[in-house]
Structure 1
Amino acid sequence: MKICIFGAGYVGLVAAACFAESGNSVIAVDVDKSRIDGLKEGIIPIYEPGLKEMILRNQAEGRLSFTTEMTEAVQASLVCFIAVGTPPGEDGSADLKYVLGVARNIGQAMNGYKIIVDKSTVPVGTADKVREAVKAELASRNVAFEFDVVSNPEFLKEGAAIDDFMKPDRVVIGTDNVRTAEIMKELYDPYMRKQNRLIVMDIRSAEMTKYAANAMLATRISFMNQIANLCDCMGADVSAVREGIGSDSRIGYDFLFPGPGYGGSCFPKDVKALIKTAEECSYDFLLLKAVEDVNERQKEVLADKLITALGSPDEEQPLTGRTVACWGLSFKPRTDDMREAPAITIIERLLAAGATVRAHDPEALKEAKKHFGDRIEYSTNQYAILENADALTIITDWSEYRNPDFDRIKSALKSPLVIDGRNLYKPDRMAAAGFRYLPLGRCGVGICGEVK
């Protein structure tokens, strides 16, 4: 099938590579000429395991190409995907200017029947706006080509996007046209070989499904973070609590790990957008407002633990003269994405408290420099930043941090203090090794200080 995909960002590149991998002819379109020129030379602008290899392979085999020429791409394709950004506006609503801009470009270039697919995360009702934008352009050209608009939200996890696309939990297709549904089923059939996981529904329900899924996952994260904080207060062990509640088949174990708060390009933006969508129909989404508030507060928890352990919260800059080593900067492992990353809030708080901050991350150092510049120190060696530091803080749960050389950590640190925002280590092992170990929600094991 002949496909064009507007937007050579995270979603667009993954979709383009994976569709090409299944034999389709794919043109990826972007207005950023430098990005397109780089892609033509094999320079991939994002880090995602397996993506570079897949792009290079399909380029070499002629199934995947990159261009800034929108008209040629539309006219050569049957299915046109819109995979551009929908950044939050000042009021939290999704900004649709890029989506509708692409819709107008498609309307200006159409030379026959097209299926226009919203792959971007968009509010309920966006398909109607896309349809009207295309109609307006066709009317201005005095032509009447037939087209359909489809909602096909993405459900990709950064760090596992290739597997998520090639072996999806589900593929949601929102359309009111039976013929269009059959074409979309044909497109996705290669990914349904073991089991049909394609769900066809009306367009507005498909648009809502994406927001509802991300809001549900964000809610689980915020809930578990509050349980962890309560465990710290009450002397319980959140790991045991997770095992106890996760064994209930109605709950399960996924997204029940406490941490420093969720981040990335999806959860924060989509929670805000769904709250705004509710406000537009005069509905007060109290639960999601609480989820958002809890998440923002959770980003302060690790900094609070450090200030309590190393300084005085009553001082204006309680960490003056202290050096803190941070492992992990990206919002999650296996990506270099730092959008809304908890590390940003945590490190800014430490800097404001007077600390010297050193940081390591396997992939995100380049992105971190965009945020912090020369205000913090960087290293590609996770142990180098520990020398004479007053504490080690773990922010992102990269696999490189899961089983480190504890003797080396202890000998390098000025004091054996570890603040673990991901609960990577066994508290009894850390205590036996002589560490002062402060995880999240595990003070009941007797190593976090006096149990309240």
Structure 2
Amino acid sequence: MNIGIMGTGYVGLVHGAVLSSYGFNVTCMDVDEHKIKQLAAGISPIYEPGLEQLIQRGIESGTLSFTSNAQQVVQTSDVIFIAVGTPSKKDGSADLSYVRSVVQTISNHLNGYKVVVCKSTLPIGSSSRIAEQLNGALQASGASFRVDVASNPEFLRQGQAVSDALSPSRIVIGTNSDAAKQMLQRIYATQIERKVPVLYTNAETAEMVKYAANSFLAVKISFINELALLAEKVGANIDDIAEGMGLDSRISPHFLQAGPGYGGSCFPKDTEAVVDIGKRNGEDLLVVQAAIQANKKQKQKMITKIASRLSFNGKLRGRTVAVWGLSFKPDTDDIRDAPSRDIIQGLVDLGATVKVYCPQGMRQARRLWSELNGAIHYCDSEAESAANADAIVLMTEWAQFRNVDLAAIASNMRGNRAMFDLRNMFAMNTDVQQLFSYYGVGTYSEPKVYSLQEAK
């Protein structure tokens, strides 16, 4: 079977590389010529553990190739996956311009029966409209064949995308076509044999499953973050609260880690999009709206927390802050809608000098944060960023931060040597808390305050 992937972002690239490892002939297409040249050389443009090795094996075996020739992909593929981005517009609705472009491209080059599979996260009803557009164009041209369209949303966790694609938690297939269903069953035969749960439904339901899942997780994160703010004021410990809640099997401990707010390529845009879909259909999704507002509040609360301990008369001029971690989570270089962006902007606006270090996120930050880059300093290590700094803000829980010589780090800082641990990585580490004026999220404590003489 020949498979075409339209789009080589986090979803399309991972999906294509994994399918090629199962022996399918996969061609990934992108309009970015530079990216295609990189990929053809076996170089992944994104950081995702195990992905580059998978790409290289696919190229070596001859099952994976890359091209910017859309006509070639459409006409030689039996199944075509749409895997382009659907970012948010200013009003919160999904920007479908990339999807429309791909659909038009497919329509222009159809030469026989195909199954078109929507892997991108699309507003509910999109797959049916795509089917109408494609088959309407075919009918108008007098073609003797048709195409089937299915919704097959992805559930990949960045940082674990390869393992999730190889061993998914579930497979959702939305289509009313038996032929399309059978084609997707062939594609996912390995996972089905391994008893991965499969939900067969219509396209609208499949599309809504994706939004429902991401919105629920965003609600869960915002809920625990609001409780963390309350815990700080009443003398409770949010980590213990989360553990107590998570022991209830109806709740589970997953996504109950307090922090600076959710981010990434899915939760922010998908919550905004489903709220927009609700409004367009006469239903206000009040719970999801509250989660969005709580997430905005959480990021502002983190800025306030930092400023209240470091500021002079509400300003941070003369203060240097080291930010550790830019990506929205560890083991990925994705900085899209990462809370680090808003928090850094807030610190800069208050006059702070900000030095940043991230194991993988700085390349993307330099590329995407053009309006902020002139105000921050990129560093090559944790130690360089913290040298002569007044505070460390730990934004992302990269495992390597646990292995840093924090005593040496602290000795090269100044002032009260504050650590704002926005992921509670060191909330149980009393040795670390002796080195810094330590502030976690959702933990009540009276941090040690150093005198200026002690700090020298």
Query: Given the two structures, how large is their TM-score scaled by the length of structure 1?
Result: 0.95
Name the structure 2 match of 1:366: 363
Separation (CA, whole Å) in 2 of partners of 1:90 and 1:221:
23
Q: Are the counterparts in 1 of residues 135 and 146 from structure 2 also a CA contact under 8 Å?
A: no
Separation (CA, whole Å) in 2 of partners of 1:352 and 1:285:
33
**The residue matched to 1:299 in structure 2 has which SS?**
helix
Question: What is the 5 A alignment of 1:36-435?
Answer: 36-312=36-312, 314-315=313-314, 318-370=315-367, 371=369, 372-414=372-414, 415-427=416-428, 429-430=430-431, 433-435=434-436
Q: Are the counterparts in 1 of residues 171 and 196 from structure 2 also a CA contact under 8 Å?
A: no
Per the TM alignment, residue 74 of structure 1 is displaced from its structure 2 partner at its CA by 1.4
Separation (CA, whole Å) in 2 of partners of 1:159 and 1:69:
30
Per the TM alignment, residue 152 of structure 1 is displaced from its structure 2 partner at its CA by 0.1
Separation (CA, whole Å) in 2 of partners of 1:174 and 1:112:
22
**The residue matched to 1:107 in structure 2 has which SS?**
helix
Structure 2: tracts of 5 or more residues without a match: 450-456
1:403/1:247 CA distance change after superposition, 3 Å: farther
Query: Amino acid of the residue matched to residue 351 of structure 1?
Result: V
Query: Amino acid of the residue matched to residue 329 of structure 2?
Result: K
Per the TM alignment, residue 192 of structure 1 is displaced from its structure 2 partner at its CA by 3.1
Q: Are the counterparts in 1 of residues 397 and 425 from structure 2 also a CA contact under 8 Å?
A: yes
Per the TM alignment, residue 427 of structure 1 is displaced from its structure 2 partner at its CA by 4.9
Query: Amino acid of the residue matched to residue 235 of structure 2?
Result: G
**The residue matched to 1:173 in structure 2 has which SS?**
strand
Q: Are the counterparts in 2 of residues 430 and 436 from structure 1 also a CA contact under 8 Å?
A: no
Q: Are the counterparts in 1 of residues 328 and 396 from structure 2 also a CA contact under 8 Å?
A: yes
**CA offsets, 1:345-392, max 9 Å, x none?**
111111111111111100111122231323211112111111111011
**RMSD across aligned positions (CA):** 1.6
Runs of 4+ that moved beyond 6 A: none
Q: What is the aligned-residue identity percentage? A: 41
Separation (CA, whole Å) in 2 of partners of 1:262 and 1:292:
9
Q: Are the counterparts in 2 of residues 114 and 148 from structure 1 also a CA contact under 8 Å?
A: yes
Query: Amino acid of the residue matched to residue 245 of structure 2?
Result: I
Query: Amino acid of the residue matched to residue 197 of structure 2?
Result: R
**Which stretch shifts more, 240-249 or 368-377?**
368-377
**Which stretch shifts more, 299-308 or 121-130?**
299-308
Structure 1: tracts of 5 or more residues without a match: none
**CA offsets, 1:113-139, max 9 Å, x none?**
111100000011001211122123323
Separation (CA, whole Å) in 2 of partners of 1:343 and 1:180:
42
Per the TM alignment, residue 102 of structure 1 is displaced from its structure 2 partner at its CA by 1.6
Separation (CA, whole Å) in 1 of partners of 2:433 and 2:7:
52
Q: Are the counterparts in 1 of residues 434 and 448 from structure 2 also a CA contact under 8 Å?
A: no
Separation (CA, whole Å) in 1 of partners of 2:340 and 2:433:
29
1:6 pairs with 2:3: no
**CA offsets, 1:182-224, max 9 Å, x none?**
2211110112343232211111100000000000000000000
**The residue matched to 1:326 in structure 2 has which SS?**
strand
Q: Are the counterparts in 2 of residues 33 and 68 from structure 1 also a CA contact under 8 Å?
A: yes
**The residue matched to 1:209 in structure 2 has which SS?**
helix
